[in-house]
Amino acid sequence: MRKKIRRNGKNGFPMRIRHEKNPKLSDAVRQAVDAQPFLKMPMEMGLVNYSALARKIKPHLEKRLDSALSVEAIAMALHRNVEPSPLKVREQPKDVLDVIAGCKIHLLPDMVTLHYPYNRKLQERLHQVKTTIEQQGGNLYVIERENEISITTQKKFQSQVNKIAEKVEPLDKYHDVALLSIQYPSKGLKQPGVLNYLVQCLTSANINLLGVFNSYSKISFGIAENDAPTAYERLSSAIATAKTLE
């Protein structure tokens, strides 16, 4: 950005005036809402009190813009720049709710989650023990990254994992875990907002997510077993409600 220069009347030396790169009110409002994505769907469905929201974000906006603002001006900016078009109000939430309405829930209790640093021998042995565990009617979920390996399985198979891990010291262990899996329609993977909707259902009930992983048709959440009844009820209710909403 080009800087303007004015002369000091007393000594004639130039004085540089730096222009702050503060956004306009409309841009600041949009950024404030974007930083809180859980607001998007209620706004799209017309469930938000804009005056109340304006009062909530007023201190943040005044600090960001370094000026006093009225609640009315902020509310107007919310209406003009954040509220979606009528087409989006009708279609976007409905697309998400259509996916949620077609979901099915599966719950696996009595699980453990083990996190290990990456180890080549452990990686190779895990594929072998996975076959053994599945032949015994169990489940072994493995997530591999460059420097770590995460394993989730039933408690009764933990000894088998410990055996193949040998001297590899785990990074962390979570016992008494439940695996809550949601099977969604094929279009769910391509629909923005589905994961956010599910996560908000759980976090709004103060349920901590110990792990999240998904495949083509399912997403699974690792949660504390004590939270499983509440989590199951919340998601079941969300699915049932989505089926009734237009």
User: What integer best gives the mean pLDDT of the chain?
Assistant: 83
In the chain, the amino acid numbered 96 is V
Assigned fold of 101-244: VC0802-like (3.30.2130)
DSSP state for residue 24 in the 8-state scheme? P
The Cα-based distances of 205 to 180, 220, 229, 235 in angstroms read 15, 17, 11, 11
In the chain, where the domains are located: 21-83, 101-244
Q: Looking at per-residue confidence, does 1 or 178 come out higher?
A: 178
86-100, 182-196, 223-237: segment of lowest average pLDDT: 86-100
pLDDT in tens, 47-95: 788 899 999 999 999 988 989 999 999 988 888 766 554 444 444 467 8
Amino acid 42: pLDDT: 76
pLDDT in tens, 121-176: 999 999 889 999 999 999 999 999 989 999 999 999 999 999 999 889 999 999 99
233-236 long-range contacts (CB < 8 A, ≥24 apart) are 234/201, 234/202, 234/204, 234/205, 234/207, 235/103, 235/105, 235/180, 235/182, 235/198, 235/201, 235/202, 236/105
Please name which of 234, 218, 213 lies closest in space to residue 185, comparing C-alpha atoms.
218
| pLDDT at 17 > cutoff 60 | no
**How far is C-alpha 60 from the chain's CA centre?**
23
- Could you tell me whether strands 211-214 and 218-224 are parallel, antiparallel, or unpaired per DSSP bridges? antiparallel
Amino acid 33: pLDDT: 81
In the chain, the amino acid numbered 56 is K
Put simply, whether the predicted model's pTM sits higher than 0.85 gets the answer no
End-to-end CA distance of the chain: 49
pLDDT in tens, 166-189: 889 999 999 999 999 999 998 888
